[in-house]
Each structure stands twice: as structure tokens, then as C-alpha cells.
Amino acid sequence: MASPPSSKKVCPDETITIMVTGGSGLVGQAIRTVVAEEAQPNEHWVFLSSKDGDLSDITETRKLFEKHRPTHVVHLAAMVGGLFKNIKYKLDFLRKNLQINDSVLQCCYEYKVKKCVSCLSTCIFPDKTTYPIDETMVHNGPPHSSNFGYAHAKRLIDIQNRAYHEQHGCMFTSVIPTNIYGPHDNFNLEDSHVIPGLIHKCYIAKQNESPLTVYGSGSPLRQFIYSKDLAKLFVWVLRHYEEIDPIILSVGEEDEISIKDVALMITEAMEFKQEVKFDTSKSDGQHKKTASNAKLRSYLPDFQFTDPKQGIREAVEWFCSNYDTARK
């Protein structure tokens, strides 16, 4: 099969089809909202969900590419879960994500996609490292043992991007967001990340007039990015970022907050009046993984991030209003 043409920036007059894998999830729904608000007449967006096909199967993936013929791809689809699911199912996270990523990137090559932007995670960074971490440090040592399956699968996207570029000239790149939260998240009590999990637990505790129990000491520090902020940055990357090397999409180092502070923001937004307990028999996971957003700021020095109190309040309000249909 012939090599695809070299990537070029999106031309204002060129009609393009952007296919979003994982389009029904947290980030996909936020991107859908952003592009609806900032619609460009030359862009046709297609949002796929797991119901459209199994992306771990190369044959099914080819059928989707054949049907939609994307010129650009935003690759969000992944097997994901919170800390305890990652600890329990390391092999499943590794194999399933390797299969998904390989199918999507190979089809991007085969169907001559001009640009593919994949989503990584800060969990890919080395466990033993100096802070802040930046884009040059992805492969400088093993990731934290709690989620090495998922982390290594995500790291390999960066390796594949470089290999496709060097061998075939493909414009495949990736972004590394910090901890994402917002409407349309997965609020499952076992499988979710920290903010949606705590929102759901707080909701139940409020209904039962019982204490809220937070797993761990509450001391770990995280950088949280509101899903709509990330969506705006994702669209900017698709339209304007022209490096193969990944870029961290995150609030600044100074905006890092503790899990305890997050829990208190949630209880305030939920108007929760009962006791908040911290179960120190449960694992804290990695204490911190502070990321530098200096590279992002070199491109977008004036980008304004949503204040976490406001973002958490909006996420809480969305969950309470959509409790019956929210993923949980």
C-alpha cells in the first residue's frame, strides 16, 4: 500500500472529516460541545462509540474507516478505569489497549489520514523521577506499579507515532492530559476516577444521611483539568499543533490540589452536611505526578482554565440532574 502524503495544516477552505473514537465518553462529549459552539463550515465531525464497532478488532476498525473515510482522527477510545481496577486487571488493560491503538493507527495509515491525535495519560511517566515532569521524560523509567499495564500500552502510542512518521511520513501525534473530570464522566463506584467516584459516593451518602468515606489519606496531589477546557485544547491541537512529540495539556504546577481538598469541594457543591472520613487502610497510589505545562504555555500563554470549584460544581450539578441516565 502506498505511503500516505505528508501532513499539512488544516486549510480554511478544505472540507475535512474528523472521526473521534471514544466519542461518547467524557472527553468526546466535551469536544462535541466545543465544536458545536465554535463550528467551522469546512469541518464534518463523526463521533463513534463502542456500539459502532470493536476497535480492538482490525477488521471491524477497517469497516469504520471505510464507512466514514476520515481525513483526520481524534483517538480517545481506550479501556479505562480507576486505581483499584487498574491494580486488579493489569494484563487486561495492557492487551486491550495495545489492540485498540494498533488497529486505529494502522487504519489511519492505510486510509491516508492526514493527522491523528491520540490521548495519553500522565500515568505513563516514570514512578521514580524528578518534578515537574515534562514531555521529554516519558520513557525515562518504569511507570508506577499500580497501573503499569495501562501505562505501557499508552506509552507505546508515542513509539508508534514516531515509527509511522519516520517510516511513512505520517502526522501522528498525541496529547497528555492530567486528571480529567466533568459532565458525562463515568461515575461507577468501582471503576471511576477519583472525582466522579467521590461525587457518586457523596450523592449516596447524602441520600442515606451517612458519613462520606474517602479511600486513602487524602494527601496525594493531582492536577485536575475540566473536560471542556481539555476539549478546547484538543481542537487547537488538531487544527494547529504540528509536532510529532506529545504535548502535556494541564493546569500549572501551582494549581495542584490534594484529594482531601477535592473531597471538600464536592461536599460543598453537594451541600453535604455529614462527616467526611478518610480510610487509610486503602492505597493512596502515587503521591504526586506534577506535570509542567510550559510547552503548552509557549503556544497558548493566555489560555484560561476553569477554576476547580466552578468545574466541580458544574460536574456535581450535571450528575444530580442526570442521575438516572449517567454512567454508573
- What residues act catalytically? 150
Q: Could you give the C-alpha distances from 155 to 28, 222, 246, in angstroms and in order? A: 21, 20, 11
Residue 9 has what DSSP assignment? P
The amino acid sitting at 321 is S
For the chain, the straight-line distance linking the first and the last C-alpha, in angstroms and rounded, comes to 44
- Phi first, then psi: what are they for 88, rounded to 5°? -80, -35
Contact 253, 178 (CB under 8 A): no
Rounded-to-integer distance, Cα 7 and Cα 13, Å = 16
Question: Alpha carbon 81 to chain centroid distance?
Answer: 11
Q: Which residue has the cell 481525513?
A: 71
Q: Which residue has the cell 515534562?
A: 134
308-321 and 259-270 helices, crossing angle to 10° = 50
Contact 134, 291 (CB under 8 A): yes
Identify the CA nearest to 120 among candidates 291, 262, 252: 291
Identify the CA nearest to 82 among candidates 184, 194, 178: 194
Identify the CA nearest to 307 among candidates 251, 264, 269: 251
- Strands of 149-195, DSSP E: 172-177, 179-181
Contact 219, 260 (CB under 8 A): yes
Identify the helix (H) or strand (E) that includes residue 75.
strand 72-75
